[in-house]
Amino acid sequence: MIATIETNSKKYKIDLSKPLDISIPLKASKTNVNAWYLDEPKIEPVKDGEWIASVAEGADVNFNNIWFNPHAHGTHTECVGHITKKVHSINQNLKQFFFLAEVITVAPEKKGKDFVISKKQLQFALGNKKRDAVVIKTIPNTNEKLSQQYSNTNPPYLLSEAAIYLREKGVKHLLIDLPSIDKEKDDGELLAHNEFWNTAGRTRMDATITEFIFVPNSVLDGTYFLNLQIAPFENDASPSKPVLYEIIE
C-alpha cells in the first residue's frame, strides 16, 4: 500500500506494507534488555485463591498483570516530564506521529574512561540536512543489544554539546540505541537531557527522546519516514514502537 505524505511543501511516497520496526520487544525474562538496577519484567496471570487466569490452567481467558519500568525495560519515548518537578505526560505532549527522519551511524569516541558522541560526529553525519527526527545507531551494532544488561557498565552517551547542536538544528525527536543519552552515573546532572529539552530557556514541550531502540544493520543510513507509536500512558514516558518506512524515489 503506497501512501503520500507532504511536509515542507514536498511530497514523499512510502510503502506502508514494508515497515522497519526498530523497537525492542518486552518479555518476562532475565534476557530482556535491562538498565537502572532493576529486576527483569514480569508477566503473570491474575490469581484469586485457587483460580489462575490462564487458559492453560483451566480458565476461559488469559488475563495477565504486567510489571515493568518503561525507562529500564525496553524501547520507550519520554518527554521533558522525565526531568521536571512539574508532572508532564508524554501522552499529552506528543500529538503528531509521522516525521521525516535521518538514520545515522556513529562510533562513540573514547574520552577518559568513557565513550561519547560528540557534536563534531553529528555534524559530519548530518551535514546541512534538516530533519524532524534523528535516529542514532551506534557501533558495534550486534544482536547483543536486544538482551544487554546495562547496569553498572557505563554505556556510551551524548556530550551536552551534541544535544545543543541537535536542538539548535531543530531536531524535535531524538532516537538512540542506548539506555540513556546521558552518562549512567553523572550525579543527577542529566546534561544532555536538559540541553535537548532546553529546560534553562523556553522548554521544548513537544520534543521527545526515545531510548533503547535497535536498528538492524540491514537498515542503512539515510532518510526515512518515522512513525513514532506510543501507548497512551499519562506518564513522563511510555513504551513505544518506532517504525521506519523507506522513501520511494
Reading the chain (249 residues) residue by residue, the pLDDT tens digits are: 898 888 877 888 999 999 999 999 999 999 999 999 999 999 999 999 999 999 999 999 999 999 999 999 999 999 999 999 999 999 999 999 999 999 999 999 999 999 999 999 999 999 999 999 999 999 999 999 999 999 999 999 999 999 999 999 999 999 999 999 999 999 999 999 999 999 999 999 999 999 999 999 999 999 999 999 999 999 999 999 999 999 997
Please name each of the domains of the chain with its CATH number. Answer: 2-25+72-248 (3.50.30.50)
3 state SS for 149-198: ECCCCCCCEECHHHHHHHHHCCCCEEEECCCCCCCCCCCCCCHHHHHHHC
Chain segment 153-196, per-residue pLDDT in tens = 999 999 999 999 999 999 999 999 999 999 999 999 999 999 99
Residue 56 is predicted with a pLDDT of 97
Chain segment 39-58, per-residue pLDDT in tens = 999 999 999 999 999 999 99
Report in angstroms the alpha-carbon separations of 10 from 5, 14, 218.
8, 13, 27
Residue 9 is predicted with a pLDDT of 77
What is the pTM for the complete model shown? Answer: 0.97
Residue 102 is predicted with a pLDDT of 98
Helix, strand, or coil (residue 210): strand
Q: Which residue, among 36, 59, 35, has the nearest Cα to 47 in the 3D structure?
A: 59
